[in-house]
Amino acid sequence: MDTKTTCVLLMSKALSYEETVLMLSLPKVERPLRMPFDLNAIDDSDVWEWFRFIRENIPRLKEGFGIPDVVSLENKSLFDGVEILCILLGRLVYPSRYTTLKLIYRRSKPELSMAFSWIVGHVESKFGHLLTSLDLCWLKAADISLFCKAVRRKGVPIRAVWGFIDETFRPCCRPKVDQKTIYSGHYRLHGLKFQSVMAPDGLVVNLDGPWPGRRHDSGMLAENGLLDLLKNEMAEVGAVYRLYGDPAYPISEYLEAPFRAGAAELSEEETDFNKAMAGVRIAVEWGFGEVIQQFAFLDYF
């Protein structure tokens, strides 16, 4: 420390001569280097608990998402591609605070926040269209026919059902503005709705949302363009296959629903039909439950 700096300290801090001499005599402490995140240093059982993937599949997922080997953020922080993917997975697995996550990744809270925002935007911008489109490599005529056979093996009375449609309501805290917009009288909570189509193999075919919590299922279906997508898909397949939904959905050429109890009671055949179809339609509820079970952050409000 030079003489000029010492004088400035004496003037600004009002240090005594003895305190100044003591400060100048202290040894210079080197700033410790940040220990880089090392996936291989984590036990196999902990890798699954923290990220919901086995160790070998995380680099494969990184390549599939097109994440660079080195990611540079706006504040010039550098992240390894596997590291920033693990930040995403670790954040979604459980509603942990950045204060806790910084102990794992040895990063500051601002760095973790920026990294999480970057990886979410990266995945959504590159692959978000797969959630709102039926133009999927694994959804062709042979696949849809196979789905129909899988549903029929459960003994259902409809031969042409290949998937199931339903909505899920995700509660949230009461907002300061537009409270009535997202308030659901049915659930008696504030929240957002998502509409999903699930295949019998457990894969999400289509996901639309978020919608205000007060919107009805049929209203979402009418506005999200799914029926037009189904029409185009069936034209390419060359046959008419249908989705099956709950009584909230209208019956159409590409959508089936259970019999509704009106003024008259349902017949025995109609009751048996509804019971048989309810046993297979529960697959879409299992799909929602699986996502929330594996990535509990999405259910935290």
DSSP result, 198-233: E-TTS-EEEEEEEEETT--HHHHHHHS-HHHHHHHH
- Which residue do the tokens 């789905």 mark? 147
Give the confidence band of 1 by pLDDT, cuts at 50, 70, 90.
low
Q: What percent of the chain has pLDDT over 90?
A: 24
Is the predicted pLDDT of residue 261 greater than 90, yes or no? no
CA distance 98 to 102: 6
Name 272's Cβ contacts closer than 8 Å, sequence gap at least 6: none
Cα–Cα distance between 276 and 111 in angstroms, integer? 52
The candidate with the shortest Cα–Cα distance to 221, out of 134, 229, 76, is 229
DSSP 2: -
pLDDT category of residue 19 using cuts at 50, 70 and 90: low
Strand partners, 71: 79
Identify the weakest region by mean pLDDT among 128-132, 197-201, 214-218, 264-268: 264-268
- The mean per-residue pLDDT over the stretch 289-299 comes to 88
Average pLDDT value for the chain = 83
Q: Which pLDDT score, from 0 to 100, does residue 32 have?
A: 47
Residue 230 has pLDDT above 70, yes or no: yes
Residue 84 has what pLDDT? 94
- Cα dihedral 120, 121, 125, 130, rounded to 10, equals 20
173-200 burial string, b = 16+ CB within 10 Å, else e?
eeeeeeeeebbbeeeebbbbbbbbbbbb
What is residue 120's three-state secondary structure?
A: helix
Which residue is associated with the tokens 């309810």?
A: 278
In this predicted structure, what is the pLDDT of residue 31? 47
Query: What is the reported pLDDT for 67?
Result: 95
DSSP-assigned letters across all residues of 164-201: EEEEEEEE-PPPSS-HHHHEETTTTEEEEEEEEEE-TT
Which one, of 70, 236, 206, lies nearest residue 132 by Cα? 206
Residue 7 has pLDDT above 60, yes or no: no
| pLDDT confidence tier of residue 274, bands split at 50, 70 and 90 | confident
Confidence (pLDDT) at 20? 52
Give the amino acid at 5: T
Lowest mean pLDDT among 12-16, 106-110, 133-137, 246-250: 12-16
Taking only the tens place, the pLDDT of each residue in 63-88 is 999 999 999 998 888 999 999 999 99
pLDDT at 115: 94
Q: What is the mean pLDDT of residues 281-292?
A: 83
> Residue 107: pLDDT above 50?
yes
Instruction: Determine the residue type at 10.
Output: L
How large is the average pLDDT for residues 88-93?
Answer: 92
Most confident among 114-123, 131-140, 161-170, 237-246 (mean pLDDT): 114-123
Q: Which of 291, 112, 276 is nearest to 194 (CA)?
A: 291
In whole angstroms, give the CA distance from residue 116 to residue 189: 28
| pTM for the predicted model, two decimal places | 0.76
Q: How many other C-beta atoms can be found within 10 angstroms of the C-beta atom of residue 125?
A: 9
Residue 145: pLDDT over 60? yes
Q: In angstroms, rounded to a whole number, what is the distance separating the alpha carbons of residues 217 and 211?
A: 10
